[in-house]
Structure 1
């Protein structure tokens, strides 16, 4: 009898262990396997929130199948106390393990609301926008010009600035001048410490920069300068052979001219080839943007056409009068323009003119150029008549 009883006990223990192993295996699969979330969601974690509250909310919103298993996974991985406040983008079908990593990793908020400060050639704007996690696209909530006097600040802007998880970014467009950048940064109330000295023209990299409230304007400018210096050094190292450019600074000057001459990314190498060919042949560059810079000195937009007297005036930047490159860049060029200046297309073009589509018609001879100019004049006349 005792032998029979012992046998049954052992059997029960084996079954029990097998059952426990099965439960553990199921739990591990639930934790690391594909989750039930059908559409990406934005999970906001308030400061002071604990893992129990977060796991319950995730379960309620259909992101996880079991709040207890999520918490057990957090405890086992020693992440239960590492929850980070903020707005976290949870992709569809994320596993519990992946979600735990997202909410404990830290860093900038990945969804929710952001305030984007856009520094453009013609305008500056502060835009309050919210990411729709289902479409990964932003919806604009409010916009205003922070540099305008007497501008009414939208209530949405003030509200979002009070939230701890609001993300802040500065977006600097290609072709903006250093003066424009400084004026814009000084006007952004999220930043501290106005700057009076204008960085060298061309020395700032157009890009998107993450900031935090209280960041110094000087610190943002330093990041922009470091980024541009790195881009220029890398591109100069990989430049084409036999260019009529002696230094990286000359490359930056040429790149800024290319940047201002075309808004069509695909034709930057052809535009660069025109100026490189002109430099090789000793021809004046004859480009209007340099003349405009000589008038404005980069302090804003001219806002009108050039006068004949201005095209004939002697300034260091008037490339109708001087030979070769002007003494400084005329704007801050982006990476693509720098790349085009140092690796131009292989062409014999020495002329180009607008073609009516937003791009340019290129030519090798003056006769071809005059024909293209005549076509452009016809387009201009037709447009004027249509107005």
Structure 2
């Protein structure tokens, strides 16, 4: 083989190598720079269209609650009591979506405990009402989280199945005046905490959307772990304990979250809505819908993406199958509640194992582990 032929062969091989490399770059949609671009879009979508609007709504609803309770204080009628109860439910619908995003710097602040520590210490609440302490802002601030917040307000507004009996506690009871003062003070403290939470997110929002690294400090990793923790809480605590999973099978409806208000099913609905919107990136008011499903398709895991979409529908169907309140159904048709719990368990497997493995997520230990 002469020198010219060798030279042609070498040049040809070099050209082929360059073309192959270029084609490889074009087809490698999961390359590191490309993944960072999509991850940035996904996190921006979550913050801009999910977290930020929820914080705005939460401040708005807590402010309205304060106004509603002040009207109730000035005119303690059944109508005004019912208005306060309705507004409490409006707050829960927002909070139970926002609760998903208790992560990173927000979780480290422990502000969520101040906003909603469940279950409430009702004995301590009653002791505070019957005490002699001035129910000032400083006193409320000094209280443990289980004596205030959303759950504490629920107890004060729904402490009896008969609203006429609840109203009596604010009108004719020996401690009626202090009970009203305590209720108003808790609502004002909740409003203050909602404003503080919004400020925290405004401070840390940019950090959330730019933490693109893999590993436990990356925002995508934090979000996946938050989804896992919430679903585990639903399975083990919000459904499992009332069903008797941890006490030999004895059903106990008083272990349901929002037992007094019979709002347990609606809370689970809001959790599911938050989880699904976070997964798809479809928050209703945006066109920049970059979600986990898009990331999974990007890395060639459309099978997992589709299974998750299907499982969200299964969970929704299981909630829809609960005809009355969760309190009623767990007694009369426990099988339907078990089916609901199992639907969330299947969702957990898909997120904690299938999706997490495909994304390279590090699942960290949380208090609900043990499923």
**Bigger strand share:** 1
Quick check: TM above 0.5?
A: no
Q: TM-score range by the shorter chain?
A: under 0.3
TM-score, length-normalised on structure 1?
Answer: 0.23
Structure with the larger helix share: 2
Report which of the two structures shows the higher radius of gyration computed on alpha carbons. Answer: 1
Q: Highest relative contact order (Cα 8 Å, sep 6+), 1 or 2?
A: 2
